[in-house]
């Protein structure tokens, strides 16, 4: 009887507009998210996954290579000690899991350390250091990893140059191969843990820590027994996202030319797919990646739901505890902590150096020029890629707004009904799904349809893929706005005779307009800088003056050309400038909170 009553009430409440808002996002996500993922499973089963696990390329029982290479060599007429951190290979699948685990552990330690200092201590310049700590998250596909590689090149890298030529120490240090990929990912992804942990720490009731101090818990014991356990939701969410992003990252392996990772293997198979066929092994690797990502995602599902986003968007409900530092603490901040943050921010700083330097062949850049920035417009291939990305991102944004508003409105207004958790999961899960898995799924699912990426190119599928992948940013912003909008306003308008469509148009959308705009801006910048889908599906037709490839595919192609990194850096500066403009607009003009990935 109770079930019948719920269904009757549901049908009475479900007018045509609300029905569309419920059916449309579910249908879109089923066709352009779930169905492609299922095609990955079907192709993998048909291919027989055992074939991959018995291939030593993917799973090697015998370790290959060495973690640390140490040897005395003669370099430029001088005897030096060469230290190269490289990494041990156990096959692409195990390498990917181990690499993601190492990256997650290191990023978590660094992120928690940075978050604790910035959340619990007050000192001059604290706000500036908070900004510096987030700089690595500014989107600069390929070129930031290229700068890290440049820093740790044992021949002409900045680190070796400083040790050997400045300090005159007979030692040169290099980081290559698997270790280079891990280092680049740690520097890039640790702010995800920092931001999630910082958000958790500032939301801790200060009276809990004060009571623990009154009972004798101080210093590390207070952190270990009170602060850390209460921050675990944020730490777990950040760590799980770092693990997933490390697993699917393809820019680092491409820049360091490291094929012994699943992401590079899938990417390399797409390079051969221009003939119209993609190796079934790509589906098996994608399935393995998907299973690992889903396990990580489900473990943090309650921390990344739409409701949690709304809570984080409102900020803390009390004034966080801040301690003033003494002289020793200030010395640590300015002599150790600040240089550490600047070191992590240097890849983005190096992007600007590359963009405006005439050349950077040795350890230091030479000259100054605007010619690389001018190449964005003057080079027809680069300019075409920029126009393509603007068009694809614009089309995706229209879908994202429609999907985000519809799904968030239904999830907010029908939250009491059974089954709404499924819609919440469908909307939020793309943030944690590897883009390479979606790319493989799209290829197999649409290859024999009128939307075939081989026949039509990426012009149709990329906007659809972008709209699915970047939907959570807009959806969570809209949901936060709806949570602050009482239903009584809508009910009052409907009681006066307004239809639901008119209520949405005249009441709801105007009141949450700033939330929609801020979420849409975030989704747009992430569409513009999307990598994994762009360099796989987006590159199936190649590039020429009238190519269909997006901007990030052009960046991938140019990063290996002579002089190309300077043009890629110029594009990186463009993306950074756009993102900074959006951050300023959202925070200071729209008075909203800028949302990074997973935060």
User: Do 475 and 306 form a contact (C-beta atoms < 8 A)?
Assistant: yes
Answer yes or no: do 353 and 386 share one domain.
Answer: no
- 341, part of any domain: no
Domain membership flag for residue 143? yes
Distances (CA, A) of 534 to 32, 140, 436, 543: 16, 14, 9, 13
Query: Do 459 and 542 belong to one domain?
Result: yes
**Alpha carbon of 94 to those of 59, 268, 270, 498: distances in Å?**
6, 18, 21, 59
Say if 561 falls within a structural domain.
no
Please check whether residue 398 is in contact with residue 521, taking contact to mean a CB–CB distance below 8 angstroms.
no
Pick from 373, 391, 419: which residue ends a domain?
373
Residue 68 lies in a domain: yes
557 found inside a domain: no
Query: In this structure, is residue 595 part of a structural domain?
Result: no
Nearest-angstrom CA–CA distance, 502 and 494: 9
Same domain, 29 and 137: no
Shared-domain flag, residues 186 and 107: yes
Is 361 inside any structural domain?
yes
Residue ending a domain, among 355, 373, 391, is 373
Q: 62 and 44, same structural domain?
A: no
Task: Determine contact, residues 22/15, Cβ cutoff 8 Å.
Answer: no
428 and 360 part of one domain? no
Q: Considering 373, 408, 438, which residue would you say is the last residue of a domain?
A: 373
Instruction: Identify whether residues 390 and 504 lie together within a single domain.
Output: yes
Burial of residue 43, with CB atoms counted within 10 A of its CB: 0-12 exposed, 13-18 middle, 19 or more buried = buried
Q: How many CB atoms lie within 10 A of CB 535?
A: 28
Looking at the structure, do residues 62 and 44 belong to the same domain, yes or no?
no
Residue with tokens 């990030």: 552
Residue 123 falls within a domain, yes or no? yes
Q: SS3 for 437?
A: helix
151: CB partners within 8 A, 6+ apart: 157, 158, 159, 346, 347, 350
Query: Rounded to whole angstroms, how far apart are CA atoms 417 and 424?
Result: 12
Q: What is the CATH number of the domain that holds 546?
A: 1.10.3720.10
User: 29 and 113 share a domain?
Assistant: no
The total number of structural domains that make up the chain:
2
19 and 63 co-located in one domain: no
Give a three-class secondary structure readout of 242-277. HHHHHHHCCHHHHHCCCCCCHHHHHHHHHHCHHHCC
Per-residue pLDDT of the chain (599 residues; tens, 9 = 90+): 344 444 444 445 577 888 888 889 999 999 999 999 999 999 988 887 788 888 888 888 889 888 888 999 888 888 899 999 999 999 999 999 999 999 999 999 999 999 999 988 999 999 999 999 999 999 899 999 999 999 999 988 999 999 988 898 999 999 999 999 999 999 999 999 999 898 888 887 777 777 777 777 777 778 778 888 888 888 888 999 999 999 999 999 999 999 999 999 999 999 888 777 888 899 999 999 999 988 888 877 655 554 343 333 344 455 667 888 889 999 999 999 999 999 999 999 999 999 999 998 888 889 999 999 999 999 999 999 999 999 999 999 999 999 999 998 988 887 777 777 788 888 888 888 899 999 999 999 998 888 888 888 888 999 999 999 999 999 988 988 888 888 888 888 888 888 888 888 888 889 888 889 988 999 999 999 999 999 999 988 888 778 899 999 999 999 988 889 999 999 999 999 999 998 888 888 877 776 666 55
* Distance (Å, whole) CA 57 – CA 261: 10
**pLDDT one-digit tens code per residue, 289-319:** 999 988 888 877 655 554 343 333 344 455 6
Same domain, 248 and 230: yes
Could you give phi then psi for residue 175, rounded to 5 degrees?
A: -125, 120
Give the domain extent around 507. 15-51+381-550+570-589
Same domain, 352 and 445: no
Q: How far apart are CA 586 and CA 261, in angstroms?
A: 37
Distance set, CA 436 to CA 167, 195, 443, 501 (Å): 44, 25, 11, 38
């Amino acid at each position: 009887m109770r079930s019948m009553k719920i269904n009757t009430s549901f049908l009475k409440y479900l007018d045509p507009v609300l029905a569309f808002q419920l059916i449309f996002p579910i249908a879109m996500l089923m066709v352009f998210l779930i169905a492609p993922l299922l095609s990955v499973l079907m192709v993998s089963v048909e291919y027989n996954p055992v074939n991959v696990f018995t291939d030593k390329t993917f799973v090697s029982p015998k370790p290959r290579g060495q973690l640390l290479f140490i040897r005395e060599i003669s370099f430029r007429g001088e005897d030096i000690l060469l230290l190269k951190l490289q990494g041990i290979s156990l096959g692409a699948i195990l390498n990917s899991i181990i690499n993601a685990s190492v990256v997650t552990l290191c990023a978590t330690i660094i992120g928690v350390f940075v978050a604790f200092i910035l959340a619990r201590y007050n000192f001059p310049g604290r706000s500036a250091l908070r900004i510096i700590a987030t700089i690595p998250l500014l989107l600069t596909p390929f070129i930031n990893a290229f700068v890290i590689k440049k820093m740790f090149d044992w021949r002409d890298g900045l680190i070796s140059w400083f040790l050997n030529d400045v300090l005159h120490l007979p030692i040169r240090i290099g980081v290559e191969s698997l270790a280079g990929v891990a280092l680049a990912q740690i520097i890039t992804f640790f702010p995800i843990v920092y931001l999630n942990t910082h958000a958790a720490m500032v939301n801790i009731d200060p009276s809990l820590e004060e009571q623990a101090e009154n009972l004798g818990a101080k210093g590390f014991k207070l952190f270990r027994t009170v602060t850390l356990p209460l921050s675990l939701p944020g730490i777990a969410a950040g760590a799980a996202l770092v693990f997933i992003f490390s697993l699917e990252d393809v820019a680092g392996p491409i820049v360091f030319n490291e094929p012994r990772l699943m992401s590079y293997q899938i990417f390399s198979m797409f390079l051969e797919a221009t003939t119209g066929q993609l190796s079934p092994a790509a589906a098996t690797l994608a399935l393995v990646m998907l299973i690992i990502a889903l396990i990580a995602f489900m473990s943090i599902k309650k921390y990344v739901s739409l409701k949690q986003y709304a809570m984080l968007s409102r900020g803390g409900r009390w004034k966080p505890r801040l301690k003033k530092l003494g002289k020793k603490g200030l010395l640590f901040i300015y002599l150790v902590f600040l240089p550490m943050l600047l070191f992590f921010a240097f890849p983005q700083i190096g992007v600007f150096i590359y963009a405006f330097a005439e050349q950077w062949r040795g350890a230091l850049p030479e000259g100054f020029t605007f010619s690389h920035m001018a190449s964005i417009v003057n080079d027809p291939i680069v300019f075409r890629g920029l126009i393509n990305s603007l068009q694809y991102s614009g089309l995706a944004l229209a879908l994202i707004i429609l999907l985000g508003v519809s799904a968030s409105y239904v999830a907010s207004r029908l939250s009491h009904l059974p089954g709404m958790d499924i819609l919440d999961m469908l909307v939020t899960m793309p943030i944690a799904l590897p883009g390479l898995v979606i790319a493989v799924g799209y290829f197999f699912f649409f290859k024999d349809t009128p939307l075939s990426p081989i026949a039509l190119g990426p012009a149709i599928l990329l906007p659809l893929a972008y709209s699915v992948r970047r939907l959570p940013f807009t959806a969570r912003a809209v949901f936060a706005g709806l949570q602050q909008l009482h239903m009584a306003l809508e009910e009052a308008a409907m009681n006066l005779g307004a239809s639901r469509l008119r209520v949405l148009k005249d009441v709801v959308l105007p009141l949450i307009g700033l939330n929609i705009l801020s979420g849409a801006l975030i989704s747009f910048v992430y569409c513009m800088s999307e990598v994994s889908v762009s360099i796989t599906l987006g590159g199936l037709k190649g590039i020429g003056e009238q190519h269909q490839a997006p901007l990030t595919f052009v960046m991938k192609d140019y990063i290996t050309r002579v002089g190309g990194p300077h043009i890629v850096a110029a594009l990186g500066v463009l993306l950074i400038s756009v993102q900074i403009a959006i951050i300023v607009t959202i925070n200071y003009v729209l008075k909203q909170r800028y949302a990074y990935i997973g935060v």
